[in-house]
Structure 1
Amino acid sequence: MPDSLTADEAARIHAATLSLDTHVDIPWPDTPDPAGETGRRVDFPKMRRGGMSGAIFIAYLPQGPRTAEGHAAAAARAEAMLRAIAASAAPDAARARFCRDAAALEAAHAAGLTGVLAAVENGYAMGEDLSRLALWRSLGAVYLTLTHNGHNLLADSAIPRPDLGDGPALHGGLSALGRQAIAEMNRVGLLVDVSHASRDAMLQAAEASRTPVVATHTACAALRAHPRNLDDGQLDALKAVAGLVQVTAVASFLKEAPAGHSARATVADYVDHVDHAVRRIGIEHVGLSSDFDGGGGFAGWHDASETAAVTAELHRRGYGAREIGLLWSGNFLRLMRLAAIAAR
């Protein structure tokens, strides 16, 4: 097929696809209105120009001291951020909608509206209070990332924080509280995100959860050795529980940089990781994300306005409309539905 026809077909597929970015950070506390053009990599105008149908915006909590005061401050910030994300669609209600579940996102897409979703990154904000999980779900959160950089009370992190007193491991994977938190997440309908968790914690979470777990922003260790990437054994574990790996656009996760330089990743490097995961565990267990405004972005997919470039590269490599739909949202929506069913 001539290149021009290939490009036209890719553009047609992208326009028809519900493309969901499962991990987009927001600045805090000074968060600009996403309804207008901003300096962020993701705002509503950029999403529309790039054909990004929806995004899961993140209430991110940096790891701090594992103290009552630290947990209380993180919990207050998480709640405030979730409320801000939910409110962000209201000023642009004619073109954007806050979505709490898969059906709402699909309805928004069918109506030509930009979908806004929310999640919490770092179980640090839970402290020892399991009731916060139900609160976050009631505010619209669709998943909780168990850890960030640094061990918390729930689980060990893939990247310990010696500045916070961390050794290589604190719990040997999940703590007893972490297992209780996963059971409560299953009960209230929150997906379990194993991004940032240590290898042991990730594997234990996959086994402990009654619903499939997801790594919402990671890449493949077989192509780039990085503590945040998943090795083939971890990918196999995701497949075994019907889970999902979402390949993310953080350049340093995709490609090793020469000494003293930043990684110069491309869309092709990104899709190399998608290809590896698909070959290893199958198209039904792989998805796409950016981590924009949290470290993601490279030449070719610098911000949400260039999202169609990912679809174009996938199509160039032989992925059809069905496969592209699964990668962009179909697989993640399946997990959202399963979490909702399990919560009933």
Structure 2
Amino acid sequence: MDAPSPLPADAAAIHAAMPTLDTHVDIPWPDTPDPRHETVRQVDFPKMAAGGLKAVVFIAYTPQGPRTPEGHAAAGERAEAMLRAIRATAEGGPQRLVTTPEELERAHAEGAPAVLLAVENGNAMGHDLSRLRLWRELGACYVTVTHDGHNDLSDAARPRADLGDGPSLHGGLSELGRQAIAEMNRVGLMVDVSHIARTSFYQAAELSRAPVVATHACCAALRPHPRNLDDAQLDVLRDTGGLLQVTAVPAFLRAPGEDGKFKASVADMADHVQHAVNRIGLEHVGLSSDFDGGGGVEGWRHAGETAGLTAELLRRGFDAAALRLLWSGNFLRVWRATAALAG
């Protein structure tokens, strides 16, 4: 791991005290290096310690496949195996499994690195709503409704022609998807709208009794892209108490250069953060990386460089109080609101 560039003393002190949370980090599967040791992954516990990243939501991701009983069963088995594997990484060291907002705050207060869990792609639920409660019992804090490709819950922002997808399958959410959102509210799972189609986004924001969150997306006003949220969508997040977690995926942050490559930096991330804050207010914006899933920009290429993003946001005029909201406070607000409605 390359040593991160040194920060000014004041920026380093602010970052060291910051309750930093990265809300979307993938894990390699099935050959997953143990993050308790230095690895080739962008996020492991040594890199988190070096970069002052205090907490991470590790993702049980399942790619979209055939919408068949066999396909759903395989996806569900994979998601649950991944959740159990993530839980196991919290054992045998200072790191701690966190399943509630209160546990996250306690881990930070006690200086313990925190491991959180989530499921990406509701396809793994199949047609069995009881799986949502199981995932919550295993520790998941949110479910991303779709990935790339329509599933039986919802249309996706990026259809999969190789799976036979047309532009739309359900016209937004299916009836099953509506039931799934109601059940997620009931069991205390946040609704992640990162990959869903715009029609589904508006329906989910209206249907969910708890605020929705886009855990890894950027602003379409700065970079038109199917995975980014336009200003009208941002306005809905503001009006419903929701949240956009600006993410470090180069293709979401800026257009490719003449060489066809996406070169992005923490400055580009800060541009998107500033746009969202100006549009909908500080309390509706946060930060994520999508590390080990396509994320990584100059200045924040891995967890060991997390302080680089803090430094850039400080340079842009965000103070320590604002950074606390961006790094975890706003996500905790949505999580608490979701937990309060459960039961």
Deviation at 1:258, TM superposition (A): 2.5
Distance of 1:305 and 1:227 partners within structure 2: 30
What are the equivalent positions in structure 2 for 1:104-119 lying under 5 Å apart? 104-119=103-118
Deviations 1:27-85 (A, max 9, x none): 00111110100000000000011000100000000000000000000000011000111
Aligned to 1:168: 167
What are the equivalent positions in structure 2 for 1:1-344 lying under 5 Å apart? 7-92=8-93, 95-344=94-343
Tell me, yes or no, if the aligned pair for 2:287 and 2:327 is still in contact at 8 Å: yes
What amino acid is the match of 2:49? R
Distance of 1:298 and 1:279 partners within structure 2: 23
Distance of 1:323 and 1:258 partners within structure 2: 32
Give SS of 2:92's match: helix
Deviation at 1:8, TM superposition (A): 2.1
Give SS of 1:28's match: coil
Distance of 2:192 and 2:297 partners within structure 1: 24
Deviation at 1:89, TM superposition (A): 1.1
What amino acid is the match of 1:266? S
Deviations 1:219-267 (A, max 9, x none): 0000001000000000000111000000000001001002542111011
Distance of 2:73 and 2:261 partners within structure 1: 36
Deviation at 1:302, TM superposition (A): 0.5
Segments of 4+ in structure 1 off by > 4 A?
none
Deviations 1:259-297 (A, max 9, x none): 542111011011100000000000000000000000000
Distance of 1:191 and 1:260 partners within structure 2: 39
Distance of 1:265 and 1:341 partners within structure 2: 38
Aligned to 1:3: none
Q: CA RMSD in A?
A: 0.9
Deviations 1:284-317 (A, max 9, x none): 0000000000000022110000000111111111
Give SS of 1:143's match: strand
What amino acid is the match of 2:299? G
Deviations 1:312-338 (A, max 9, x none): 111111111110000000000111111
Deviations 1:194-241 (A, max 9, x none): 001001101110000000000000000000010000000000001110
Distance of 2:280 and 2:15 partners within structure 1: 24
Distance of 1:91 and 1:61 partners within structure 2: 27
Any gaps of 5 or more consecutive residues in structure 1? Answer: 1-5
What amino acid is the match of 1:45? P
What amino acid is the match of 1:60? Y
Percent identical among aligned pairs is: 66
Tell me, yes or no, if the aligned pair for 2:248 and 2:290 is still in contact at 8 Å: yes
What TM-score do you get using the length of structure 2 for normalisation? Answer: 0.97
Distance of 2:245 and 2:29 partners within structure 1: 24
What amino acid is the match of 2:33? P
What amino acid is the match of 2:43? V
Give SS of 2:75's match: helix
Aligned to 2:4: none
Distance of 1:17 and 1:258 partners within structure 2: 34
Deviation at 1:7, TM superposition (A): 2.6
Tell me, yes or no, if the aligned pair for 2:257 and 2:263 is still in contact at 8 Å: no
Deviation at 1:9, TM superposition (A): 1.9
Distance of 2:302 and 2:198 partners within structure 1: 30
What amino acid is the match of 2:22? D
Distance of 1:176 and 1:123 partners within structure 2: 14
What amino acid is the match of 1:36? H
Q: How many residues align?
A: 337
Distance of 2:296 and 2:194 partners within structure 1: 18
Distance of 1:243 and 1:122 partners within structure 2: 20
Any gaps of 5 or more consecutive residues in structure 2? Answer: 1-6
Deviation at 1:342, TM superposition (A): 0.4
What amino acid is the match of 2:222? L
Distance of 1:259 and 1:168 partners within structure 2: 29
Give SS of 1:307's match: helix
What amino acid is the match of 1:10? A
